């Protein structure tokens, strides 16, 4: 059996939660990837699938519904409240010491990814459509001589999505964003800044287009 080395919290944040349980060496000068790295990656993703199955069973009688294909890393750092629904093939990853909280009645669509190095809080009755991506960290990319995947992660910044918010399909929420209560994010938007309560935002980067009360923002602002 192949054993994955465990990393401390600081190392996991530098590496990013996607690889928090395995520290693989980069390819050699000729671009070859060693068999040990291949085995470690297989073990990592197999472990996530097995962990996802046990996570589903654990929450079966807690008023939480999780569909098949769910994968998880760092399940001990995840709190799901009653009435949460997570649809098929969603992926939740947390680094050691991180925290992911999903509030009562929140629904997460299929193929969504939530990746946490420090903290992500989803409020109650939040609606997250399919293929959304939420992360509280990003990858470093300043060194032109090193592949981005080997440069580690930036310092994480907490993400918070308040009660009643709605994220359309394919939305991306970047680090440090706070979405206010009952705000709406249009499909395919990339949210780089915090959004006030009741606002409707859309675009890349997302901008306020109007409020849920019908008031239209001045586009010249």
Query: How many domains would you assign to the chain?
Result: 1
- Residue 28 predicted with pLDDT over 60: no
Would you say residue 3 lies in a domain?
A: no
The reply to whether 195 falls in a domain is yes
Identify the bridge partners of residue 71 per DSSP, sorted by sequence position: 91
Residue 178: its H or E element? strand 178-179
Tell me whether residue 2 is in a domain: no
Is 217 domain-assigned?
Answer: no
Measure the CA–CA gap between 6 and 204, rounded to whole angstroms.
37
pLDDT in tens, 155-189: 999 999 999 999 999 999 999 999 999 999 999 99
Structural domain including 62 reads 9-211
Residue 102 lies in a domain: yes
Is residue 126 a part of any domain in this protein? yes
Q: Which single residue is written with the structure tokens 């472990």?
A: 47
Q: Does a structural domain hold residue 120?
A: yes
139 has catalytic annotation: yes
Q: Which of 81, 139, 150, 178 is catalytic?
A: 139
Nearest to 44 by CA among 26, 69, 68, 71: 71
CATH of the domain at 34: 2.160.10.10
Q: Is the pTM of this model over 0.85?
A: no
- Asked, for residue 53, whether it belongs to a domain, the answer is yes
């Amino acid at each position: 059996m192949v054993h994955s080395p465990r990393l401390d919290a600081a190392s996991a944040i530098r590496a990013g939660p996607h690889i928090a349980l395995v520290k693989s060496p980069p390819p050699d000068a000729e671009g070859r990837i060693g068999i040990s790295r291949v085995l470690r990656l297989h073990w990592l993703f197999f472990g996530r699938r097995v962990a996802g199955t046990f996570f589903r069973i654990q929450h079966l009688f807690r008023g939480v519904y999780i569909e098949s294909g769910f994968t998880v890393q760092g399940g001990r750092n995840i709190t799901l409240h009653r009435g949460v629904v997570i649809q098929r093939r969603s992926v939740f990853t947390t680094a050691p010491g991180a925290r992911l909280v999903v509030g009562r009645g929140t629904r997460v669509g299929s193929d969504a990814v939530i990746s946490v190095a420090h903290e992500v809080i989803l409020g109650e009755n939040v609606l997250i459509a399919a293929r959304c991506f939420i992360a509280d960290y990003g990858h470093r990319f300043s060194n032109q001589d090193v592949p981005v995947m080997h440069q580690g992660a930036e310092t994480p910044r907490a993400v918070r999505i308040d009660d009643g918010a709605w994220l359309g399909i394919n939305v991306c929420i970047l680090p440090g964003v706070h979405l206010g209560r009952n705000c709406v994010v249009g499909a395919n938007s990339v949210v780089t800044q915090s959004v006030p309560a009741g606002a409707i935002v859309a675009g890349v980067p997302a901008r306020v287009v109007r409020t849920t009360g019908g008031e239209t923002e001045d586009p010249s602002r």
